[in-house]
Amino acid sequence: MSVAENTLPEGPLIAWYGDDFTGSAAVMEVLTFAGLPSVLFLDIPTPEQLALFPNMRGIGIASTARSRSPAWMERHLPRAFAWLADRKASIAHYKVCSTLDSAPDTGSIGKAIDLAAPYFDGWIPCTIAAPAIRRYQAFGHLFAGAPEGVFRLDRHPVMARHPVTPMAESDVARHLAAQTDRLIGLIDLEALADDPDERLACLCSDGAEIISLDTVSAADEARVGKLIWDNRGEGLFAVGSQGLEYALVSHWRQAGLLGPGTENESVGAAERMITVSGSVSPVTAAQIDWAESHGFAPIRLDVAGVIRGDAEAAQTAITSALDALNSGLDPVIFSARGPDDPALPAMRAAVDARGITTEAANALIGKSLGQILAALLEHTGVRRAVISGGDTSGYATGELDIFALTALAPTVPGAALLEAHSETPRFDGLQLALKGGQMGSPNYLGWIKRGGGVAIEGGSA
């Protein structure tokens, strides 16, 4: 099973399909800033679009699968997995959230694995942990950081009360076992430090197909990367967060296969910036609070009105944002300020009154925010924007007529500043940040306005 070599193979090293937009961009960020040019498409690219990005070491596709039903996956994922297989990359990666957002009926990771199986051979590494973003797995259980500290996932202050996929189980194998019948094995911290190859061989001999991998430190990360890389065969299908790329990059560097990476400084401050947010995370709420105290203009979107189909809800937000821009302020259009926002009960009442699913409501809100952003970009000269919220990023970006993204400048891991590629001049070259709800420091919006790059000293823009 093991593969030994002294150089990285030519062609794409990793081809990935992400189940949300922010996470998909995070994979591109890890690879690009490690010195491996990568591109993220927002759908399966045409041959002409693919030809615009020659010699890419990473090629990805972003999707909204995390918020979709198994039936949606059955309609869309086989074509995507066939495309991934055709890339002939060393690793084909189904990218999932580092907090394992999923359920049997929404964003099922197990369902995605079952749909991918006909296109790939071999064992399936499952690498959710990513210490760089405070995600850890110990003896099969996933832990995630929050401003208050690090919590087991089922006790996490955000994930345990996630509005769509609340996490009641921190054991990765038990969580996935509710989504697939495939046997799941574990290489825990002890086995990882001792002889992971032997443990892998034993698990596969016993019929395990999916192998969950513990990681709590940089040393673990490099061991996981080595295990996956040495046992990839002619090409391997893997499931995980951007922790997979962190692990591989760490191993490649330790093995002398990859240099130290690229220097990425700020791309320069923007005169004006527009932010739209569909996140209800307290992390995002703190970012909105910081922005308000530093000269940004928070503008509430009437999400209940959006769900009812009231066209005035979006127009009111657009008018307020234009007024803010004309006054020299940067608008931040948001759906809620944290999980206890009083707007949320009204939103749920509107969902019930209209008789739609939460998934459909989130899509309506995300698309409305995207339409608001598109209208503002069309009517102003603004060339930098932020979309906050994992699911929101997918729906909102879909309204911008963009077909690809490349990474421009880093901020915190998982929330870099990107460059958009479009056939529409207004959107081509747009500098865009896609931020998951739990990602970023309180001063994140000021950081993006400054142009990314090294961390802001003292927490100011």
pLDDT at 460: 41
- CATH code, 14-254: 3.40.50.10840
Q: Which of 266, 247, 268 is nearest to 258 (CA)?
A: 247
Residue range 274-459 forms a domain whose CATH class is alpha beta
User: Nearest 5°: phi and psi at 178?
Assistant: -80, -5
CA dist., res. 129 & res. 246, Å (int): 10
Euclidean distance between CA atoms 339 and 135, whole angstroms: 22
| pLDDT computed for residue 43 by the predictor | 95
Q: Domain spans of the chain?
A: 14-254, 274-459
Which pLDDT score is estimated for 5? 64
Which pLDDT does position 146 carry in this prediction? Answer: 86
Total length of the chain: 461
Cα distance between residue 290 and residue 426, in whole Å: 29
Question: Residue 13: what pLDDT?
Answer: 98
Q: How far is CA 289 from CA 140, 277, 439, in A?
A: 36, 13, 15
Conformation bin of residue 122: beta by default, left when phi > 0, alpha when psi is -120 to 50: left
Cα 107 from Cα 179, distance rounded (Å): 10
Closest to 17 measured CA to CA, from 98, 69, 75, 78:
78
pLDDT of residue 4: 52
Tokens of 354: 């209209």
Alpha carbons 51 and 256: distance in angstroms, whole number:
30
How is 105-173 classified by DSSP, letter by letter? TBS-HHHHHHHHGGG--S-EEEE--BGGGTEEEETTEEEEEETTEEEEGGG-TTGGG-SSS-----BHH
What span, in angstroms and rounded, lies between the C-alpha atoms of 435 and 457?
A: 21
pLDDT of residue 2: 53
Distances (CA, A) of 139 to 36, 192, 209, 220, 245: 32, 11, 18, 13, 21
Show the low-confidence residues of the chain (pLDDT under 70). Answer: 1-5, 455-461
Question: 58, 27 in Cβ contact below 8 A?
Answer: yes
Largest Cα–Cα distance of the chain, in whole Å? Answer: 67
Q: How many CB atoms lie within 10 A of CB 255?
A: 17
**Identity (one letter) of the amino acid at 406?**
T
- HSE value, Cβ hemisphere, 13 Å, CA-based, for 239: 28
Residue 309 burial by Cβ neighbours in a 10 Å radius (0-12, 13-18, 19+): exposed
- Rounded to an integer, what distance in angstroms lies between the CA atom of residue 411 and that of residue 22? 14
pLDDT of 91 reads 98
Query: Quick one: pLDDT at residue 157?
Result: 86
Residue 357 corresponds to which tokens in the numbers above?
């699913």
